[in-house]
Amino acid sequence: MTPSQPIAYIIQYKSNAGRNKNINKLLFNTLKNNDLCKSVMDEQQSPLMRLMQTDGFKPFSGSDAIRVYGKARERLNMDKVEEEDLLKAVSSLGVLLETEIALLYALQDKLCTNCGVCCTENRSMRLTKIELKQIAEKQNISYKKLKKQIHARPNNNGTFTISRKPCAFYKDGCTIYNYRPSICRSYPASRVLKALGGKGKYPRECPISDDLLVELAIKRALEEKMHRENPELMQELAEKKQRDLQSLRGLTQSQRLSYLAKRYQRNLKQEE
């Protein structure tokens, strides 16, 4: 797989009409039955069409997709894009590009409200020995004392499990935020991605989970509009992105994602 190829994170949630009685019927049926994916095949090749033609593509559908669409519609001036483009953009979230996955990780730091839900309502989390030792060093206590203090339970794979109901490190806020474990740093993006891949529950409890996908949906809808109105500029931007990704060919996928996420974080800070 090359850096420019889509990475398939396919959503397998089913629509629940009983829970969405007040949702526009056309939108509900479109997202549920994949009508958009079928109709787009007859259009000129576009960014969304290419995504929807990815092998194994299944649309982002169901109550989560409907909720994301509603939030995106509220935030976006619909005079700027066609409603059908936004519908397609939400449905197309069944597959994400590598650059978009990196963007999710960058966005979560910007959007995080520090509400503490992930620290108090998740049942447990796993930490590595290295992470525990780093926390012990930063808190100036012994590694063994820390394990006992937080009731860390060893696992067969060398990791440790601690309770997060609430987290032992949460006292009126995270007390280890600057050196928190990777499982904390990657939330909720990692859980959103697992849910899109059908490997876990969508983290509805986190107030920014939907916002991450809303950002991607709006980006895709605007790119679709640009493709129609200014295809030359769209092509120029695509070629620039391709050149940027080609320069990362020697890196592993994990290294590429880390590099891209950090670059997006820098760009987001410059926009503040």
> pLDDT of 232-270, one tens digit each?
988 898 888 889 888 888 999 899 999 999 999 998 888
C-alpha dist (Å) from residue 1 to 7, 47, 193, 213, 259: 9, 19, 18, 24, 18
The secondary structure of the chain in percent helix, strand, coil, rounded to multiples of 5, reads 60, 5, 35
Q: What is the mean pLDDT of residues 208-236?
A: 93
Domain edges within the chain? 6-112+208-271, 117-181
What predicted TM-score, i.e. pTM, was given to this entire model? 0.78
> pLDDT of 237-246, one tens digit each?
888 888 988 8
Do the strands 124-127 and 96-97 form a parallel or antiparallel pair, or are they unpaired? Answer: unpaired
CB 183 within 8 A of CB 122: no
Q: What local confidence, expressed as pLDDT, does residue 16 receive? A: 34
Residue pointed to by tokens 């929807």: 52
Lowest mean pLDDT among 106-110, 120-124, 243-247: 120-124
Maximal C-alpha separation, the chain:
65
